[in-house]
Amino acid sequence: DAGITQSPRHKVTETGTPVTLRCHQTENHRYMYWYRQDPGHGLRLIHYSYGVKDTDKGEVSDGYSVSRSKTEDFLLTLESATSSQTSVYFCAISQSIGDREKLFFGSGTQLSVL
Amino acid sequence: AQSVTQLGSHVSVSEGALVLLRCNYSSSVPPYLFWYVQYPNQGLQLLLKYTSAATLVKGINGFEAEFKKSETSFHLTKPSAHMSDAAEYFCAVSDPSYSSASKIIFGSGTRLSIRP
């Protein structure tokens, strides 16, 4: 297994509260991604990072922010959680050389916003 | 713009039967195409990928897919289903000109069930 750890694995929170999800990698891969998975939608990219302090928006970035202060850590923050953000969140990593599309995924975080 | 459509959100086959999961893509440039598999409570794993070499691509666990440009399809097949193949399968497309996976577009997924 690729060395990707997501924390927490499960979280229940209330509408309006801030939430931070953490992704930690031990592979020294350049690229890191946050996806959300919802029934009928597959995976949708929220934000991604192409290096320390270098991030960009994905398809569904509204209501989310990210930070990457170290190569190994990529944080996803919901500033004020809403029920529409109830989802399973996956972190992924990839390299830029060779198999750049070979994404390695973490085990996911199940987030419920009540 | 690129997109991918998976036909059938749920497919059920008997153990030992042929598995066929359908994927059609839309792309303005020659695409890269992928199949990923997700087992329960796990993240996605790359099953196979097409990157403009051979049109018939072999992947792990006996799966293969054929790129058909004329039909804009990339269907996934396996001759004989095993119980362990029960999972959700995602087709994906990307633009080869990008150096990251940020432009990979995933389909909505097909859940494969195997009947004993």
A20 min Cα distance to partner chain B (Å): 19
pLDDT digits (tens, 9 = 90+) for A49-105: 989 999 999 989 999 999 999 999 999 999 999 999 999 999 999 876 555 567 889
pLDDT of residue A2: 65
Mean pLDDT of B10-27: 96
Q: Which of A43, A61, A99, A109 to mutate to test the interface with B (most CBs of B within 10 A)?
A: A43
pLDDT digits (tens, 9 = 90+) for B55-87: 999 999 999 999 999 999 999 999 999 999 999
Residue A35 burial by CB count (10 A; 0-12/13-18/19+): exposed, middle or buried?
Answer: buried
- Does the distance separating the beta carbons of B101 and A103 come in below 8 Å? yes
Rounded distance, CA B114 to CA A32, Å? 34
Measured between alpha carbons, how far is residue B22 from residues B34, B68, B82, B92 in Å? 12, 12, 19, 12
List of chain A residues whose C-beta atoms are within 8 Å of the C-beta of residue B104: 45, 101, 103
Task: Look up residue B114 and give its two tokens.
Answer: 């195997």
Binning pLDDT at 50, 70 and 90, where does residue B100 land? low
Choose among B41, B101, B107: nearest Cβ to A101: B101
Choose among B41, B90, B94: nearest Cβ to A43: B90
CB count within 10 Å of CB B87 equals 22
* Kind of pairing between the strands at B10-14 and B110-115: parallel
pLDDT of residue B94: 85
pLDDT of residue A36: 96
